[in-house]
Amino acid sequence: MTATEQTHEPGPDDVYGAEDEYVVEHGAEHGHGHEGDPTLYRTPADAVAAPPEKLAYVVGFDRSAQLPDTLFTLDTDPGSPSYGRVLSATDVPGTGDELHHFGWNACSSALAHAGHHHPRRRYLIAPGLRSSRLHVFDTHPDPARPRLLKVITPEELAAGSGYSRPHTLHCGPDGVFLSCLGGADGADGPGGVALLDHESFEVLRPWETERGPQHLAYDIWWHLRHGIAVTSEWGTPSMIEDGLDAELLLAHKYGHALHFWELETGRHLQRVDLGAEHQMVLELRPAHDPEAAWGFAGVVLSTQDLSASVWLWHKSADGDGRGGTFSVRKVITIPAEPAEESHLPPLLRPFGAVPPLITDINLSVDDRWLYVSAWGTGELLQYDVGDPFRPRRTASVRLGGITGRVPHPSAPEVPLTGGPQMVELSRDGRRVYLTNSLYGAWDDQFYPQGIQPWLVKLDADTVHGGLAVDGRFFPHGEEFRGRRVHQTRLHGGDASSDSYCYR
């Protein structure tokens, strides 16, 4: 079905739906959430204890740009007869958007301000990385069948913020933070963060007030209780939109630093260089404990040996209280795997190896388990990070991969294309969801045979560590109507949606 733009503007009296029914039946105190929305959790422990997700939302894009991109809704209730199946598909009105990362209009961080306007986790905002359009989906009154509420144009984004090419979206205490790779009017950077209103979705302004040396953008996260934001680096639009540029890579032109900011003012405080050979510092995963001041960052590739790595940032010894300085250290290294030249795509044949290509990481809400996607080798790795300075590998699963093409257990005759890419984790940490597409032009370089879409669910052992593929949950191929799938969000929140205000 195709959704058309609607003129209705959200308001505090709108029908809310399924979560309201939960509060009426059980009371907000038993829903572990805010009295207006039980999916806004005061503490990480409340989020872990809340009811499990019954729906997942996944964005898909048409690589040919001939068909509209789509928001898919899937059934994640193991007791349902439609478990693991697509329940609805809501198309956007244009083509060529390449829906990529997306997120909620409000989450638990809104509880930092008691006067916030009755926040509700209701609207999903899906940016088009190529088109610079923002699509707002309303998940109520029927969360299983979202409808497109409105489209924010590239002109509105540029006029309000000075940015284009939106990439990553997180809901914060004062608005929606939208990281962007490019500038307005075709400018190839600097990238930065646009601030949107939680409820009207108006593009308010650029978040930064003093940029300092920051030029490249990718992700943004924060430590609310410490008043610190963190950003990472990929590249400007011209550096990424046509695929990985080997000349830029070998010249160490992609991002290789973390930036620390004053969250309230958007003032740059500190740049920490990981070393020029550590190219493309992408996903950021801060500790969920609001008192903690550490987190993990994934690095795609080392130009020295094609390895990938995970780095820990942490407050330095002199950084007590709000603010302070930060240090980084490499805590995980995943080596490249030798391969026959004939089995490699043209880009990798001179190297005779498959790089792991860490393209996503995710940290459990209890800050115990870290998941690392090695999209190149086709591996999802689980680490015990009870001591974040000394991660301990506890399990891994192979699916797809550049040379392996390891099949799903339920379809052993079908080699999988792509590999574990975006990884999403349930609030209780027991379910891991994987999609297999990175970015259209980069897909084509590393998987030139094409990417056939799939979404996989793994069951995780949250006591001793361990992973097992769920053989019942495997939407793939034509179930996604020719769209490649990139990111997953879970109804009621997930491990990478929220930051928490209280312990």
How many whole angstroms from its chain centre is CA 289?
Answer: 19
Q: Which residues of the chain have pLDDT under 50?
A: 1-31, 116, 319
Q: Which residues are CB-neighbours of 25 under 8 A, at least 6 positions away?
A: none
Please give the structure tokens belonging to residue 448. 């030139």
Alpha carbons 426 and 304: distance in angstroms, whole number: 36
Distance in angstroms (rounded) separating the CA atoms of residues 434 and 486: 9
Question: Which amino acid does the sequence have at 282?
Answer: L
- Residue 499 CB coordination number (10 Å): 22
What pLDDT does residue 305 have? 97
What CATH fold (topology level) applies to the domain 18-490?
A: Methylamine Dehydrogenase; Chain H (2.130.10)
Secondary structure class of 150 (helix, strand, coil): strand
pLDDT digits (tens, 9 = 90+) for 27-65: 333 335 555 799 999 999 999 999 999 999 999 999 999
Confidence at residue 112, expressed as pLDDT on a 0 to 100 scale:
84
Cα–Cα distance measured from residue 377 to residue 396, given in angstroms and rounded to the nearest whole number: 12
For the chain, the structural domain boundaries read 18-490
Which pLDDT does position 323 carry in this prediction? 60
Output the pLDDT for position 174.
Answer: 81
Residues 6+ apart with CB under 8 A from 236: 181, 182, 188, 189, 190, 191, 216
Could you report the per-residue pLDDT of 282-301, keeping only the tens digit for each?
A: 999 999 999 999 999 999 99
Tell me the per-residue pLDDT of 149-173, one tens digit each, with 9 for 90 and over: 999 999 999 999 999 999 999 999 8
Q: How far is Cα 375 from Cα 368, in angstroms, rounded to an integer? A: 23
According to the model, what pLDDT value does residue 16 have? 28
Structure pTM? 0.93
pLDDT in tens, 311-358: 999 998 664 556 679 999 999 999 999 999 999 999 999 999 999 999
Classify strands 484-490 and 308-315 as parallel, antiparallel or unpaired: unpaired
The beta strand positions in 237-391, using DSSP E, are: 257-262, 267-273, 278-286, 294-302, 308-315, 326-334, 337-338, 353-354, 358-363, 369-374, 379-384
